[in-house]
Every structure is written in structure tokens, then in C-alpha cells.
């Protein structure tokens, strides 16, 4: 009798452990990684869509800064006290995603009516303000329109679950369509950081693409969701369980509509013919530096004619700009000028086109 009770108890414990491993842990992992931290953040944008500096803006759409998944939010240029986007006149733009979510963004128009446009893609757990420092140099130094979306389930945009760049890729192409409608003829550059870098690379692999979309700039994006999560598991827990990842992926498929296996910047880049600039800090241990070369090699385009690779010594995750702002701007300007020169003679700056003299000011030089 005692042996039977012991065996029964052992069986109960075994099945309980299996239930925890196969069911509870995957659900917990999915919610921890992808369920938004601020479910009410998208309910506060009201009133006039033309919004000036100091007006009411969305609450921060992020977990506490102690969470190691975060890049500091927002990214400020040296000497800045508040995000640049809060200091300029801007419009709060809104679109609907393919699955019915309201997505919102800040739009700062350039002075010229024919200016080109950058769409900036934020990182994981950030919001539309995160790349404000990038917006500033595009707007002030390059003469670009700047569109800074809140990604789905972040900041002022709706959505319960993060798309980890995969669902977002389609959202950012919709933002490109928004630019096409508002600024016909404006050439478009996608520039993303971390998850945003993966987002713009995955967008580049879609077909057809808007003809105005000219180039993609990735700053510290990951090769794939699986590889990034496996890396994080090893870094945090010293092991990576394929069975746990597969179980969490099934939860993600059921709740968010995609699997971990689908989310691959590498696979999307293999299908892309957009010029590509890959940027990565050489001391990045969060999204491993080794991923940058894998991403660069995934693009079928010839380099350096159509793709470039820029690494920053001493820079950690998301720190390439902070580590050397002037060189960062120089490399971005050089890349954009080369891409835009494919269109023929530069547009007349007096007509509101992108000023190549402004790009040259940052060391682009002749190409």
C-alpha cells in the first residue's frame, strides 16, 4: 500500500512538472515577451491632430528601465534634455493595420514641399519617441520629413501583442503608403533600431514594394526571433530549450497569429533588392555583433555598390549613434546620397528637395 501511494505521488508530481513545462511556462514566456506592458496606453490621443511643442503626448509604452530587454527610451543626442520631437510642430498621424488596429505616429514635415522622408522604426518596448535623436538629424541636417510611428502594442498604437517585427513589417509598409498619399513623389528611407532594424529588413523582403521606397538602414537588428530568444536564454539561464521555444511559439501562433519560426530578417533579406546599410556596435552582447555580418551576407545585392556595412568599436546595443554621432551621420548621409544618385541629378533644393549640400556637410563627398 505504501509503495502504491509513493508511486501514485511520484506520478502526480511527474505529470505536474510536465504540465508546468509544456503548458504554464510557454504561456508565461509568451506573455512576458510579447504581451504589452501598458494595455491602456492607446486611449489618450484626442483633440486637434496638429500638435505643437509641449502638447499632450502618449504615455511611455514600456516596462521599467531595469528590464534588460530595453534600450534606453528615448534616445537623446548629446546635450539634449528632452526628445527633439517634443520641440517641433508635428502632426499626429493615424492609420489602420491589416488586422484592424489603430496605429499612430508623429510626423514632422520638412520646410520644402518636395522633401524626402525617413520612417523611423522603434525598438522593443520603446515607443515612437525612441529615435528622436535620429529624427533630429534627418530633419535639421538632411532636410527630410520625419515619420516616427508607435509600433503595434507600443506607445499610442493599439494592439495587445508585439509583432516582434514580423507583423510590424506590414504596418510600416502601410506607413509608407500614408507618406505616398501625403507627400507624392517623396522618396522614402526606412531606418530602424534593434527590433525596428529587424522590422525594416523584414519589410524589405515583401513584394510588391512602393516604388518610392528606396533604401533600408538597420541598426543592431537581429537575424531571427528564434536565434535572438535562444541567445537570451543562454545569456540569462545558461541553457536554451528548443522544446520550450517551440511550445511558446505554438502559443504565439494561437494568440498573436504568427510563429517564432516565421520571424526571420535573413529570409526576408534574401528576397530583397533594396539598398541596405547594416550598422552594429562591436560590443553588442544583447543582439550579438556576429549577427550583423550574417545579415549583410544575406542580401543578394553587390557590395559596396548596393549594400554597406558599418561597425562601431566600443559600442554596445543601440549605442552606435551615441558612441560617435558625427561618424554615424556621415555614414548614413553617404549611403543615402549614393542611393539617391541612382535617380539621376539631385533635386533642386530651392524646390524643397533633399539638399545634397546638407548631406555633403556630413562628409558624404562625391560618389
Which of 64, 274, 88 is closest to 72 using CA atoms?
64
154-to-35, 57, 88, 236 alpha-carbon distances in Å = 10, 13, 22, 25
DSSP secondary-structure letter at 29? Answer: H
pLDDT (0 to 100) of residue 76:
73
pLDDT (0 to 100) of residue 9:
62
pLDDT digits (tens, 9 = 90+) for 339-363: 999 765 545 444 555 555 556 665 5
What pLDDT band is residue 236 in, cutting at 50, 70 and 90? Answer: confident
What pLDDT band is residue 285 in, cutting at 50, 70 and 90? Answer: very high
Question: With contact defined as beta carbons under 8 Å apart, do 317 and 80 qualify?
Answer: no
Query: Is residue 46 over pLDDT 80?
Result: no
Sheet containing strand 145-149, strands side by side:
50-51, 90-96, 102-108, 145-149, 117-121, 188-193, 213-219, 276-281, 307-312
**Residue 246: how many other CB atoms lie within 10 Å:** 14
* Predicted TM-score (pTM) of this structure: 0.84
Question: Domain map of the chain by residue range?
Answer: 35-224+263-361
Strand blocks (E) in the chain = 50-51, 90-96, 102-108, 117-121, 145-149, 188-193, 213-219, 276-281, 307-312
Query: Is residue 150 over pLDDT 50?
Result: yes
Joined together, the cell numbers standing for residue 59 give 504615455
pLDDT (0 to 100) of residue 228:
96
More confident residue, 47 or 228: 228
218-to-26, 99, 169, 194, 255 alpha-carbon distances in Å = 30, 26, 13, 8, 28
pLDDT digits (tens, 9 = 90+) for 300-342: 998 787 999 999 999 999 999 999 999 999 999 999 999 999 7
Q: State the average pLDDT over residues 173-194.
A: 97
Query: Is residue 277 over pLDDT 70?
Result: yes
Q: Which CATH class is domain 35-224+263-361?
A: alpha beta
What percentage of residues in the chain have a pLDDT greater than 70?
Answer: 75
H/E stretch holding 196 = helix 195-204
pLDDT (0 to 100) of residue 1:
62
What pLDDT band is residue 262 in, cutting at 50, 70 and 90? Answer: very high
DSSP secondary-structure letter at 200? Answer: H
pLDDT (0 to 100) of residue 107:
96
Query: For residue 3, with 0-12 CB atoms within 10 Å meaning exposed, 13-18 middle and 19 or more buried, which class applies?
Result: exposed
Which of 225, 290, 231, 288 is closest to 34 using CA atoms?
225
DSSP secondary-structure letter at 255? Answer: H
pLDDT (0 to 100) of residue 241:
77
pLDDT (0 to 100) of residue 48:
28
Quote the CA–CA distance of 46 and 35 in Å, as a whole number. 25
Q: State the average pLDDT over residues 46-55.
A: 33
Joined together, the cell numbers standing for residue 22 give 509544456
Query: Is residue 71 over pLDDT 50?
Result: no
pLDDT (0 to 100) of residue 63:
32
Amino acid at each position: 500500500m505504501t509503495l502504491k501511494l509513493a508511486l501514485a505521488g511520484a506520478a502526480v508530481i511527474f505529470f505536474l512538472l510536465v504540465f508546468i513545462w509544456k503548458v504554464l511556462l510557454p504561456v508565461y514566456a509568451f506573455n512576458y515577451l510579447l504581451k504589452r506592458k501598458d494595455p491602456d496606453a492607446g486611449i489618450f490621443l484626442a483633440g486637434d491632430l496638429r500638435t505643437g511643442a509641449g502638447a499632450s503626448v502618449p504615455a511611455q509604452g514600456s516596462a521599467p528601465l531595469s528590464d534588460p530587454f530595453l534600450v534606453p527610451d528615448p534616445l537623446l543626442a548629446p546635450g539634449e534634455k528632452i526628445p527633439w520631437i517634443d520641440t517641433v510642430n508635428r502632426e499626429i498621424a493615424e492609420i489602420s493595420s491589416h488586422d484592424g488596429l489603430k496605429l499612430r505616429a508623429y510626423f514632422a514635415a520638412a520646410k520644402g514641399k518636395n522633401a524626402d522622408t525617413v520612417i523611423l522604426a522603434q525598438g522593443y518596448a520603446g515607443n515612437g519617441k525612441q529615435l528622436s535623436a535620429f529624427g533630429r538629424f534627418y530633419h535639421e541636417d538632411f532636410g527630410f520629413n520625419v515619420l516616427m510611428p508607435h509600433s503595434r502594442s507600443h506607445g499610442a498604437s493599439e494592439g495587445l501583442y508585439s509583432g516582434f517585427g514580423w507583423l510590424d513589417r506590414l504596418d510600416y509598409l502601410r506607413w509608407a503608403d500614408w507618406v505616398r498619399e501625403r507627400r507624392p513623389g517623396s522618396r522614402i528611407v526606412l531606418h530602424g533600431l534593434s527590433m525596428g532594424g529587424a522590422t525594416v529588413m523584414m519589410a524589405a523582403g515583401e513584394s510588391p514594394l512602393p516604388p518610392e521606397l528606396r533604401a533600408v538602414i538597420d541598426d543592431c537588428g537581429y537575424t531571427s526571433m528564434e536565434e535572438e530568444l535562444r541567445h537570451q536564454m543562454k545569456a540569462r539561464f545558461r541553457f536554451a530549450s528548443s522544446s520550450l521555444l517551440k511550445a511558446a511559439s505554438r502559443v504565439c501562433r494561437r494568440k498573436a497569429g504568427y510563429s517564432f519560426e516565421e520571424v526571420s530578417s535573413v529570409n526576408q533579406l534574401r528576397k530583397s533588392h533594396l539598398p541596405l546599410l547594416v550598422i552594429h556596435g562591436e560590443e553588442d552582447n544583447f543582439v550579438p555583433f556576429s549577427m550583423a555580418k550574417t545579415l549583410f551576407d544575406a542580401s543578394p545585392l553587390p557590395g559596396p555598390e548596393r549594400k554597406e556595412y558599418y561597425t562601431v568599436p566600443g559600442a554596445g546595443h543601440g549605442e552606435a549613434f551615441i558612441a560617435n554621432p558625427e561618424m554615424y551621420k556621415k555614414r548614413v548621409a553617404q549611403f543615402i546620397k549614393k542611393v539617391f544618385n541612382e535617380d539621376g541629378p539631385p533635386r533642386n533644393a530651392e524646390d524643397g528637395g533633399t539638399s545634397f549640400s546638407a548631406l555633403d556637410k556630413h562628409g558624404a563627398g562625391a560618389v
